[in-house]
A and B are shown apart, each in its own frame.
Chain A
Amino acid sequence: MTSLPNNPGAKKLGLVIDLDICVGCHACAVNCKEWNTGGHSAPLTDENPYGNDPIGVWFNRVHTYEAGDGANGRTVHFPRSCLHCEEPACVTVCPTGASYKRESDGIVLVNADTCIGCKLCSWACPYGAREYDYADGVMKKCTLCIDRIGNDNLPERDRVPACVSTCPASARHFGDLGDPNSEVSRLVEERGGYDLMPEMGMKPVNKYLPPRTRPVSTASNTTAQDITEPVSGGSGSRFLDWVDRALSR
């Protein structure tokens, strides 16, 4: 039954996304689409692909927000996919057991052969991470590239999610957030990685690294000082002595 794993393994595979360097290029979203439309959940159907209001199944979508205003306002690109929550309602509400969380690594998946397409899981997910495939009549979602990360047919270095390996800015990291010493855990530690909407109680595994606060000025006061200190300009002015210092070629 799709009560949550009663003895969840220590391993919590997930993504860490660095909002400080995400340039919003959509590479992760499209590469995800490309891999997965031929992968475990194939196909990621597109309706009206060449017509009005095309609508397709995507496991990863990149939003752009503006936060704050005036001098400290900023634009933040925000990729969003399934967060592989520790206590995901999308699993507990499922009447068929199609929606489940893997005990061995916490990946949340949908079994397309038992899903009846009742859509209740998508109502239960606060993050809008479920993607209903109208054509297949079943729910689909980010699989954390379950068919890549342990795929013996791929070279070791390619056994990471498609979105991670393609991110041009290296804003995406994949790893075991259950292991406090993993690279991703350390990143989260150092950069104050956070959960989305903790108030929903889903305990997301994926973490987001916040945009860094900006350096006010990199110039030491002294330089800032002496460069802004007024000097009456104009050629020949004695203030231009520096031009006369001896030079060697």
Chain B
Amino acid sequence: MHPAYSVIFFTTASGAGYGALVWMAIFAATGTVTPTAWTGLAAFAVALGLVTAGLLSSTFHLGHPERAWKAFSQWRSSWLSREGVAAVLAYVPALLFALGWIVFETFEGAWLIAGIVTALAALVTVACTGMIYASLRAIPRWTDVTVVPIYLVFALASGGALIFTVFAIIAPPAPEWAWAVAIMIAAAWALKFIYWQRIDAAAPVATAESATGLGRIGRVSLFEAPHTSDNYIMREMGFRIARKHAARLRIIALLLGAAVPVPAFLAAGLFSGVLTAALALAGVAALAAGILVERWLFFAEAKHAASLFYGTDTV
């Protein structure tokens, strides 16, 4: 699949944003942070900022952004529609949660419930995003059982890293929280690693032979594509990345996304104050880069069944 940057940015940014909201709810529930206008403003600016930026960017690749609202209509059948609906609905508890935290500076009763509902809505939205991909049979690798969990843990890992860092700077929570973040990050990459193992091992779901039905004759190879010039399908689904190249990028993703941030946050948990903040900051930066690479690979490594008609042997 052709890795479109708007989609990569959308999934990573909104993922992090929703993840952050979840952690904020947890912090609120556990009284890890104190509800002050100042901490609230900072946290919500980052979390809702990312969510909103992501959602907006997802409309950039639409042929008709002005019609985007129509996308809410098919929630009964379409995961994309559900994601849209969930994303918008999530704003309601999120704004109440923000109201309590920033204006009334409280986590009491209803305000806390708003926080918890926000967390749930955030998780549902991220799950919908994952389902958009996981439900596409035409891209067999995306239907892997790990895909939705991966979207969830990566959201939590990136969101956690982010929000911990924010607080580490403005109102440091107990440094031990950094270890929770480190564990999340490790979990995310562990899951991703399993995904890579599984797609590398997976048996082909469809072949040029089954796509054309000519397997009955023998091995099938493309003699001539319909046109000498390419077309939309080839541009969008025809993208192929060399195995070598992919392997290298996986390592880079692991180095940036795991090898740096995990120790960084473990260490951050050992110290406090400026040092913790600095380590967290470094961790977050590396993690973000690692996740962008991971997300790029998620698309670039996926083969679309339609490419079987254009010379791909198996998907």
Contact = CB atoms under 8 A, between A and B. Distances in A.
A and B touch in the complex (CB under 8 A): yes
Interface of A: 1-3, 19, 26, 29, 53-58, 61-69, 72-76, 78, 80, 89, 91-98, 114-120, 122-128, 130-132, 134, 136-139, 194-201, 208, 210-211
Q: Among the interface residues B63, B81, B222, B224, which one has the most CB atoms of the partner chain A within 10 A?
A: B63
Contacts, number: 213
B62 A95 contact: no
Interface centre among A54, A61, A69 (most CB of B within 10 A): A61
Interface string B208-219: 101111111111
Contacts of B230: 53, 55
Given A96-B74, A124-B136, A210-B213, A61 B218 contact: no
Given A124-B138, A199-B205, A210-B216, A65 B221 contact: yes
19 contacts: A56-B231, A61-B231, A63-B310, A65-B208, A66-B221, A93-B78, A94-B78, A96-B74, A114-B70, A117-B64, A118-B63, A118-B80, A120-B132, A123-B1, A126-B304, A127-B309, A197-B305, A198-B210, A200-B137
B71 interface: yes
Nearest to A74: B217
Report, as a range, how many residues of chain B touch the other chain.
35 or more
B197 interface: no
Nearest to B81: A95
B73 interface: yes
Given A1-B77, A55-B231, A65-B221, 17 more contacts: A1-B74, A2-B78, A65-B208, A66-B223, A67-B214, A67-B218, A67-B220, A73-B218, A76-B212, A93-B77, A94-B78, A96-B67, A98-B70, A122-B236, A130-B233, A197-B305, A211-B214
B245 interface: no
Main SS at interface, chain B:
mixed
A113 B74 CA distance: 16
A119 B139 CA distance: 14
B57 to A, nearest CB: 13
Contacts of B61: 118-119
Given A2-B78, A69-B218, A116-B64, A123 B232 contact: no
Interface of B: 1, 61-65, 67-68, 70-74, 76-81, 84, 132, 135-139, 205-206, 208, 210-227, 229-233, 236-237, 304-310
Nearest to B305: A126
A211 B217 contact: yes
Given A93-B78, A116-B63, A67 B219 contact: yes
Contacts of B223: 64-66, 75
Nearest to A202: B137
A68 B122 CA distance: 53
Interface centre among A91, A98, A123, A201 (most CB of B within 10 A): A123
Interface-centre pick from A74, A89, A95, A97 (highest chain B CB count, 10 A):
A95
A70 B237 CA distance: 32
B212 A196 contact: yes
B81 A131 contact: no
A95 B217 contact: no
Given A55-B230, A75-B223, A116-B70, A89 B64 contact: no
B276 to A, nearest CB: 42
Contacts of B138: 89, 123-126, 200
A95 B78 contact: yes
The 3 closest A-B pairs by CB, nearest first: A117-B63, A137-B63, A68-B218
A182 to B, nearest CB: 21
Nearest to A119: B236
A56 B228 CA distance: 12
A101 B67 CA distance: 21
Contact of B70 (A62, A96, A130): A96
B73 A96 contact: yes
Contacts of A53: 229-230
A90 to B, nearest CB: 9
B208 to A, nearest CB: 8
Contacts of B233: 122, 128, 130-131
Contacts of B210: 196-199
Contacts of B215: 67
Nearest to B237: A128
A55 B232 contact: yes
Contacts of B308: 197
Contacts of B206: 126, 197, 199-200
Contacts of B208: 65
A97 B226 contact: no
B211 A62 contact: no
Contacts of B205: 199
